[in-house]
């Protein structure tokens, strides 16, 4: 995330919008014959397909490793550096997902081809944060002077953490955190925001975000809880349903990094403010912009 300053972000967003409006036949002329390797040490069909869709739309090709943890040389004791050096012989760019923080960065240090972090453990998921902020700009026409509510699992959730960090590059932003008491926002985020001069507060009811421009809902991540009881206590705390929607501004948007379980009632999917599926599609355009910037 540290690599993206405000002007770089705005460049990427402009480029994403430009690419999305090109006809397919023109998109395909951007990266003909270039090769993306998607190497996933933990499964994420969503992120993998989004990268792969972006690459093939640009006319490139894809080499896919869906379960790098099982099928690759990692099981034989190969270092991530050696794996990366091998991959650079096969592909022009690598998108790597890894359960261990910092692995994509370690890979990037030893090779000449770009390595994109497609999520490294609980640490970062930078392309998710990029597409989140791009969606805000695309939907509301601005990234500044907004009231942004971030709801749900703020302790384990990689996506809300990455978004909060990225908001440091915006101006006049007011953040409200709304988390179940079991998974509160961490001090790493609040102190980073303080340092960057981003105004924020913690709230404990949907009333506090009635005036928000963006409601960023997240999943309570069952897989991160030690026991079922604490998980059950946390889920269902802040569910977005019609009643919540009725209390929100008319021009607001509801985002979610997906997948959702039951923290957004599907009954509101038809509400025009429900922007989460448009957000998922935006992931393709943002990743097209990144790939095109790196290889074009």
The binding site for a second copy (CB under 8 A) comprises: 24-25, 27-28, 32-33, 35, 37, 43-46, 49-50, 52-53, 56-57, 59, 61, 63-68, 70-73, 76-79, 81-83, 85-91, 219, 222-223, 258-262, 266, 277, 280-281, 283-284
Cβ-based nearer residue to a second copy, 64 or 194: 64
Euclidean distance between CA atoms 291 and 97, whole angstroms: 16
Cβ-based nearer residue to a second copy, 6 or 20: 20
- Determine whether 28 is an active site residue: no
**49 membership: H or E segment, kind and range:** helix 45-57
The residue count of the chain comes to: 296
- Determine whether 233 is an active site residue: no
Pairing of strands 147-151, 214-217: parallel
C-alpha angle 185-233-248 in degrees, rounded to nearest 5: 60
| Shortest separation between residue 57's beta carbon and a second copy, angstroms | 7
Cβ-based nearer residue to a second copy, 32 or 247: 32
- Residues facing residue 214 across a β-bridge: 148, 253
- Determine whether 47 is an active site residue: yes
**Which of the residues 46, 85, 233, 273 is marked catalytic?**
46
- Determine whether 125 is an active site residue: yes
| Shortest separation between residue 49's beta carbon and a second copy, angstroms | 5
**Which of the residues 15, 48, 57, 97 is marked catalytic?**
97
Residue 71 has which token pair?
A: 């099928």
Cβ-based nearer residue to a second copy, 81 or 202: 81
| Shortest separation between residue 92's beta carbon and a second copy, angstroms | 9
Cβ-based nearer residue to a second copy, 188 or 262: 262
| Shortest separation between residue 125's beta carbon and a second copy, angstroms | 15
Handedness of CA 51, 143, 177, 126 (dihedral sign): positive
- CB contact set of 20 (below 8 Å; sequence gap of 6+): 285, 288
**Which of the residues 47, 83, 173, 190 is marked catalytic?**
47
| Shortest separation between residue 38's beta carbon and a second copy, angstroms | 10
Judge contact between 189 and 162, C-beta under 8 A.
no
Helix 45-57, helix 126-140: angle, nearest 10: 70
Euclidean distance between CA atoms 141 and 246, whole angstroms: 23
Judge contact between 215 and 247, C-beta under 8 A.
no
Residues taking part in catalysis: 46-47, 76, 97, 125
């Amino acid at each position: 995330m540290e690599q993206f300053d405000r002007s770089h972000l705005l460049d990427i967003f402009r480029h994403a919008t430009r690419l999305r409006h090109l006809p397919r036949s023109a998109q395909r002329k951007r990266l003909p014959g270039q090769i993306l390797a998607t190497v996933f040490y933990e499964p994420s069909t969503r992120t993998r397909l989004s990268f792969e869709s972006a690459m093939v739309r640009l006319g490139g090709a894809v080499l896919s490793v869906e379960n790098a943890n099982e099928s690759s040389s990692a099981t034989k004791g190969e270092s991530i550096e050696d794996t990366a050096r091998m991959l650079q012989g096969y592909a022009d760019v690598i998108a790597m997902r890894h359960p261990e923080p910092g692995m994509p960065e370690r890979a990037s240090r030893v090779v000449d081809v770009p390595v994109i972090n497609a999520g490294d453990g609980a640490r970062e998921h930078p392309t998710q944060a990029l597409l989140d902020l791009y969606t805000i700009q695309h939907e509301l026409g601005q990234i500044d002077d907004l009231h942004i509510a971030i709801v749900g699992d703020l302790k384990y959730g990689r996506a809300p953490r990455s978004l909060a960090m990225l908001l440091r590059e915006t101006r006049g932003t007011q953040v409200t955190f709304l988390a179940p008491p079991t998974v509160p926002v961490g001090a790493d985020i609040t102190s980073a925001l303080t340092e960057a001069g981003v105004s924020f507060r913690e709230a404990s009811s949907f009333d506090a975000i009635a005036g928000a421009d963006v409601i960023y809902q997240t999943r309570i991540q069952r897989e991160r809880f030690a026991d079922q009881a604490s998980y059950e206590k946390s889920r269902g705390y802040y569910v977005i349903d019609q009643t919540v929607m009725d209390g929100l501004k008319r021009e607001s948007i509801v985002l979610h990094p997906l997948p959702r379980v039951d923290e957004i009632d599907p009954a509101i999917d038809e509400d025009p403010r429900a922007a989460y599926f448009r957000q998922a599609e935006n992931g393709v355009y943002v990743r097209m912009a990144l790939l095109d910037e790196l290889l074009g």
